[in-house]
Amino acid sequence: MIRESDRIKNKLLALNLRLAELRMEMERTQIRVIQLETEIEDSQLATLFGEGSGRQTALGPQLDQTRTELDRQKAMIQHVRASQRDTHLRYLLERRREDVEARRAAQTPVEEEVN
């Protein structure tokens, strides 16, 4: 029989995996933001030296969109972390309850034999 604590532990494992995925995705997005910022700075320097290609105006909306995506990812990570904390607490409480129940079950036959 599957115990409730086993079910909660599986959920906790799934949350841990999802959090790792989200963090990797966020790191890729952070790298993309840095790349876009660098490209914009390079374009601005090129414009100062009279070699501007107008690429800076095309990169602005991409940078804004990527920053918005980064903010969404950060919010999702915070949500998953909160769920992870709640699930971990539920797991600890359930394990405690199951341990107490197991101890009671182990003591009950001994008490019945004495009576």
Q: Is 115 a domain residue?
A: no
CA distance 97 to 86: 16
Count of domains forming the chain: 1
Q: Is 75 a domain residue?
A: yes
Q: Is 112 a domain residue?
A: no
Q: How many CB atoms lie within 10 A of CB 44?
A: 11
Residues 30, 73 contacting (CB under 8 angstroms): no
Q: In which domain, by residue range, is 93 found?
A: 4-105
* pLDDT by 10s per residue, the chain, length 115: 889 999 999 999 999 999 999 999 999 999 999 999 999 999 888 888 887 666 677 899 999 999 999 999 999 999 999 999 999 999 999 999 999 999 999 997 655 555 5
Q: Which of 67, 66, 69, 41 is nearest to 55 (CA)?
A: 41
Residues 60, 40 contacting (CB under 8 angstroms): yes
Question: Is this prediction's pTM over 0.95?
Answer: no
